[in-house]
Every structure is written in C-alpha cells, then in structure tokens.
Amino acid sequence: MVTFVSSTAQPRPRGVGRLNPAARSTLISFLAVVVFLALWQVAPILGWVNGRFTSQPTLVVQAAIEVFTSDNFLFHARISLSEFALGFGLALIISVPFGALLGTSQIARELISPPLMALYIAPTLILLPIMVIWLGIGMASKVAVVFLGAIFPIVVNTTAGMREADQRLIRAARSFGATRMDVFRHVLIPGALPSVLAGIRLAVGRGVLGVVVGELYVSQAGIGHQLVVYGSAMRVDRLLVYALVVSVFGYALTQVVRLLESRVRDWRSE
C-alpha cells in the first residue's frame, strides 16, 4: 500500500476511525442492533433470563410469519384501521373549520376556550368508559375515542395558527382591496397551514393510542383485542409482533405528515 505523506498529513487513524463520520455512525448503530439481537437470542439459552417472558428474535420472526399468514390478521387490522380512519376523518372534517372559527372570532373564543383547553390538556381516554356506556363495546365507541383524541390538538393548533397570522400581511392585502373573506382564504389559511399540520401530527399519535387502548379496554375484534387474547395466553412473541405493527403504522403516518410539514415550511425559512 502506498501512502502519500505531506507536511500537513495527520497520522492515519486506526479501526472504525478510518471511515467518514456518516458511515461510521451507521456502522455503530448497525452493530448495536446486532449485538442487542444476539444477546436477546442467547440470554434465555444461557439461563440469564426466563425465555417465557423475553421470547427470542427468532421466535418473534416465526410469530410474525404465523400472524401475517393466518390468525385473521387482516380482519383485525381492518377493524382497527376502520375505527381509526373514521374517527380521524371525522375529527379532521370538524376540527379544521372549528379551529378556523375560533381563530377568527373573539366571541367564539371567549365562549368555548376554557372547556376546550381543559379537554386538550386532559387525556381524552378518561372518557372511554362513558363512550362504551353510550355506544356499546363495538366499533362506535372506539371511533368516538379516536375522534375525541384527535380533534383537540387540531382545533387548538389551527386556532393558534390563525391567531399568529402576520398582521402586516393582512394589512397589505386589505390595502389592495381584499375583503374579509379574501384575507381568510389567501392570508389566514395558508399562513396557518404549518400549525394545522403540526396539530394533525400530534393527533395521529393520540388517535392510534385511542384505538389500541379502546380495544384493550373492551372489544370483540381489532389489534387491541388480539393484544388482550395473547396477553392472557402469555404469548410474548405475538404481543411483540402486534406492538411492532402498531408502532410502524403510527410512525409511518407521522412521517407522512412531517413530510407535508417540511414542504409547507419551505417558505417559512425567512
């Protein structure tokens, strides 16, 4: 191997230090995961932990194959997904216009701000038992819980986004003859969009939580229902598969909203 030595040359680093920083951090993360999985795999075999409680990576992979190929996974996933989609969709349809009203009307704000903030801060899961009493143990009560979980972050953030509107932009628009409706459509709405999306991102997490906890509480089907079934059967491997499914879903949806946010925020870098 030929090395060129100049007066400014640093001594060549050894080991992983030779890689560029990005590659090095990727390698270190990768190794950490490998080490973790390996420990997880051998720990029950060596008797360090009880395998009944910890399961093993290979068993989890096996369980995943079983879950995805049989076990009515699609049926349960569809139930949970429908509950989420319905509750979240309803929340979206209602919360954005509602937030816009609160953002633009002082009277509306004074009227309902305190109870709204109380509901925003309190975990809406508190209302779960009431929803079950009102709507039964079927899908409707979960739809309601998702709806309640999702609506408040969106309302509150939409309201804030409208209220933080740049007064200079409103004044400029008015000087060119913009009506109240024009200002709303062309200044307030686009200006509030990043806040609305931030609210939606928060709402995704709350909605997913609502579905799962709602089904855990009482249900006949759905991902949460499966968690109850395998929980009482002590099937740690399958529980981990479902946990993974739920977190991947929530993460993916959050990332989609984040992507939209970053696109909308481009112009905000001013």
Smallest distance, another protein to C-beta of residue 27, A: 37
Q: Kindly tell me which residue out of 52, 177, 181, 232 binds another protein, with binding defined by CB under 8 A.
A: 177
In 3D space, the residue among 119, 150, 142 whose CA is nearest the CA of residue 250 turns out to be 150
Q: Kindly tell me which residue out of 16, 45, 78, 166 binds another protein, with binding defined by CB under 8 A.
A: 166
Task: Please give the residues from 230 up to 269 whose contact with another protein meets the rule CB under 8 A.
Answer: 264, 266-269
> Does 10 interact with another protein (rule: CB under 8 A)?
no
Pick the closer one to another protein by CB: 90 or 160: 160
Q: CA-CA distance, 83 to 144, in Å (whole number)?
A: 9
**Burial class for 155, CB neighbours closer than 10 Å (0-12, 13-18, 19+):** buried
The CA–CA distances, whole Å, from 82 to 14, 76, 139, 221 equal 55, 10, 9, 12
Pick the closer one to another protein by CB: 77 or 165: 165
Point out which span in 101-109, 145-153, 157-165, 171-179 binds another protein (CB under 8 A). Answer: 171-179
One DSSP character per residue, 57-80 reads HHHHHHHHHHHHHSTTHHHHHHHH
Pick the closer one to another protein by CB: 46 or 181: 181
Under 8 Å between Cβ of 76 and 226: yes
The CA–CA distances, whole Å, from 23 to 12, 19, 30, 32, 218 equal 17, 6, 10, 14, 48
Under 8 Å between Cβ of 178 and 184: no
> Does 171 interact with another protein (rule: CB under 8 A)?
yes
Q: Kindly tell me which residue out of 108, 182, 221, 231 binds another protein, with binding defined by CB under 8 A.
A: 182
Q: Kindly tell me which residue out of 88, 156, 169, 233 binds another protein, with binding defined by CB under 8 A.
A: 169
Point out which span in 18-26, 67-75, 136-144, 185-193 binds another protein (CB under 8 A). Answer: 185-193
Under 8 Å between Cβ of 213 and 152: no
Point out which span in 53-61, 108-116, 144-152, 175-183 binds another protein (CB under 8 A). Answer: 175-183
Smallest distance, another protein to C-beta of residue 165, A: 11
Under 8 Å between Cβ of 195 and 164: yes
Q: Which residues bind another protein (CB under 8 A)?
A: 166, 168-169, 171-178, 182, 186-187, 190-191, 264, 266-270
